[in-house]
Amino acid sequence: MSEGPPLTEPKTGEQKPARKADRAALLGTGGLWLAKWSAGLVIIAAAAVVLGWIIQKMWVIVLPVALAIVVATILWPPTRGMTKRGVPPAAAAGLTLVAFFAIFAGIIAGIAPSVISQVPDLANKATEGINKVQDWVKGPPINLRDEQLDSAVAAVVERLQGSAASIAGGVFSGVTTAGSMLITLALVLVLTFFFIKDGPRFLPWLHRVSGSRAGTHLDEVLTRMWSTLGGFIRTQALVSLIDAVFIGIGLVILGVPLAPVLAILTFIGGFIPIVGAFVAGALAVLVALVANGFTTALIVLALIIAVQQIEGNVLQPVLQSKSMNLHAVVVLLAVTAGSSLFGIVGAFLAVPVAAVAAVVIRYLGEQIDKNSVETDPEDGTKALPAPGDTSVPDPKIPPATAPEPSEPDPSAPSKT
């Protein structure tokens, strides 16, 4: 039996082949990495729950502040224009607030007589519509008998009588809610006044308090957040105004009652993407069906669908691509979460909050890309600098070294 070649020591300068790590060691390393990330995610989730609990407990303060910031984004451009022309900040903020609420009160005063005069006729039309529905369900293909309808109505009445205590409690809580709404409105007015009056002083103050390093990041993030929020509110107001004008004109031409009210509801609903437009459109179709009949309701439905298609495929992508840059799925999930947690107000504030959160996430991503390094795909160990980052030297490029000073040649002739 022949012996194999003798084992020899590797020559000087040759690298020994790298030994593979043990399987148990790899599993342990991977498990430790997964455990660290899982613990971090659990801590983040717990912090989010605690933050949500704090917001819920402090909702009476958080809501006026959030609404005041939204209103301030609308009123800041005219206030800034007046201050640039030499008007004192307090006077400019006061004049802007007075003009804003004068316009709002004028719109309400203009549509109130129309609503009051048309509501009785609309109620009669609704009664007629209910009677038509009853006649329809009695015929084919449903063929309900009078006894079945009477039993269904009796069940509804019994349910309402059984819930009388809850209904009464709801009425009293509604009175309390109305009082809290007035207090919230007054607080929003005061906060909006100070926001548009002293807003430019906030960032310098925050920079001094937080320090140079953190203040620089806060300045950049808050400036982007304010720009994104203001762009979203102004763009959404323009899109909602276009929807309300076209739908309102169509309702007036078709003779649908309460057309101004429905147009204003369309404008307000435009600030709640997807859901608001659907609810306002359904209400307009319902009013047209009750007041003008099935044919008019179909025309109104076609008008609303056409306007919504123009908004979704033309206005929204063109006008909001620079201001918000959120996917439709993110918008829908944000509206759903906001409405389920905080009702109508949550649905209204969901998209601005999502847009602001996206600004923070994008800024964090920029900072990570700026300070991160990549690994060399050849051996997976060499650190390569990120694109544009000169803080980490490239190990593939030898560092430039200054030439060593040479000693003077004694045989060379002297310049002196």
One DSSP character per residue, 355-390 reads: HHHHHHHHHHHHHHHHH-EEE-TTTS--EEEPTT--
> Which residue from 77, 120, 84 is spatially nearest to 100, judged by alpha carbons?
77
Q: Which residues of the chain have pLDDT under 70?
A: 1-19, 115, 119, 121-123, 125-130, 132-133, 137, 139, 141-150, 152-154, 156-179, 273-275, 312-313, 315-325, 328, 373-416
Separation in Å, CA 281 to CA 58, 259, 302, 339? 34, 12, 10, 19
Tokens of 198: 């002293």
Contact 75, 82 (CB under 8 A): no
pLDDT for res 44 = 93
pLDDT for res 318 = 62
Domain segments of the chain as ranges: 36-204, 211-371
pLDDT for res 86 = 87
pLDDT for res 402 = 45
pLDDT for res 132 = 67
pLDDT for res 416 = 41
> Which residue from 190, 199, 171, 187 is spatially nearest to 60, judged by alpha carbons?
187
pLDDT for res 33 = 92
pLDDT for res 175 = 44
CA distance 344 to 335: 10
pLDDT for res 233 = 82
pLDDT for res 70 = 85
Q: Is 415 helix (H, G, I), strand (E, B) or coil?
A: coil
> Which residue from 313, 320, 240 is spatially nearest to 281, judged by alpha carbons?
240
> What is the largest distance, in Å, between two alpha-carbon atoms of the chain?
130
